């Protein structure tokens, strides 16, 4: 089964991992211990509202679920970062069944992402109190896990997103340039695909067997799995 994991810091973490992987290497032990908590009705409502917002394709509905302290970080200097974060969230196809897998109370506001977020690049405007994990069935061979950091604000559960520093923005933009170049190359590779390989990959995509599609493309072309993922994702986005 192909599983995608989308952490709440959905653009920043992965973009920075591309730009400066060594700077993100921290021991797992730096993540504070946490306790599993019961899911309350307000958290269930947050998840329902989040799913509805993504399905609507409206970024303003997603922004309504973000803590005001995080929204205050959106300025002319940081807008491209947050726009990208919201755009990537809206790319998810949340059409299958889903369940709240767990809600974890974080110790002293330290989340599992703290091991990946250098303090000189990102900081929380307010500390989250919980992490919530939602698992989606996106196909017979595919699943998606969303993890969001949340906190109560005036009786409502909202997502707390870290705010990028100047150094964090620099790394994000550098990574985005590299990512855009990879996407352009993926488009060129898709345009050059011919049968029988093209039909094989399309059939696997239609079956939502993205992992096998990636492996098949990589084996046939010699491209690494990272580029194979870009190609398969592009074909998937174009499939009816």
The verdict on residue 179 lying in a domain is no
Q: Clarify whether residues 33 and 123 are in a common domain.
A: yes
- Tell me, what CATH number does 161's domain have? 3.10.450.50
The CB density around residue 158, as the number of other CB atoms within 10 Å, is 24
**Higher per-residue pLDDT: 112 or 226:** 226
Q: Clarify whether residues 167 and 200 are in a common domain.
A: no
The verdict on residue 14 lying in a domain is yes
* pLDDT surpasses 60 at 6: no
Range 68-88 average pLDDT: 94
On average, the pLDDT of the chain sits at 83
The verdict on residue 184 lying in a domain is no
Range 186-193 average pLDDT: 96
Q: Clarify whether residues 27 and 93 are in a common domain.
A: yes
The CB density around residue 121, as the number of other CB atoms within 10 Å, is 21
Q: Clarify whether residues 42 and 74 are in a common domain.
A: yes
Residue where one domain finishes, among candidates 121, 141, 173 = 173
The verdict on residue 206 lying in a domain is yes
Q: Number of folded domains in the chain?
A: 2
The verdict on residue 124 lying in a domain is yes
Q: Clarify whether residues 115 and 147 are in a common domain.
A: yes
Which residue stretches of the chain are H helix? 12-19, 41-56, 59-63, 68-71, 79-90, 166-192, 197-206, 210-221, 225-238
**Higher per-residue pLDDT: 98 or 137:** 98
Q: Clarify whether residues 35 and 109 are in a common domain.
A: yes
Which residues 6+ apart lie within 8 Å of 192 measured at CB? none
* Domain encompassing residue 135: 2-173
pLDDT digits (tens, 9 = 90+) for 145-177: 889 999 999 999 999 999 999 999 999 999 889
In this prediction, residue 67 has a pLDDT band, given cuts at 50, 70 and 90, of very high
The verdict on residue 125 lying in a domain is yes
Note the pTM of the prediction, 2 decimals: 0.75
């Amino acid at each position: 089964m192909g599983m995608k994991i989308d952490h709440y810091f959905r653009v920043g973490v992965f973009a920075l991992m591309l730009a400066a992987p060594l700077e993100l290497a921290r021991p797992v032990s730096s993540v504070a211990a946490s306790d599993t908590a019961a899911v309350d009705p307000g958290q269930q409502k947050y998840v329902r509202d989040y799913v509805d917002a993504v399905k609507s394709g409206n970024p303003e509905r997603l922004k309504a679920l973000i803590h005001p302290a995080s929204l205050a970080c959106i300025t002319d200097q940081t807008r491209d970062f947050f726009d990208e974060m919201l755009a990537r969230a809206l790319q998810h196809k949340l059409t299958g069944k889903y369940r709240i897998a767990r809600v974890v109370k974080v110790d002293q506001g330290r989340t599992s992402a703290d091991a990946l977020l250098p303090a000189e690049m990102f900081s929380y405007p307010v500390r989250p109190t919980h992490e919530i994990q939602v698992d989606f069935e996106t196909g017979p061979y595919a699943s998606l896990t969303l993890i969001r950091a949340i906190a109560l604000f005036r009786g409502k559960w909202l997502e707390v997103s870290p705010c990028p520093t100047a150094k964090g923005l620099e790394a994000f933009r550098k990574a985005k340039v590299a990512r855009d170049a990879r996407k352009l190359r993926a488009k060129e590779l898709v345009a050059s695909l011919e049968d029988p390989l093209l039909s094989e990959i399309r059939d696997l995509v239609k079956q939502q067997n993205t992992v096998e599609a990636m492996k098949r493309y990589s084996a046939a072309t010699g491209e690494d799995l990272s580029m194979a993922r870009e190609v398969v994702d592009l074909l998937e986005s174009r499939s009816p």
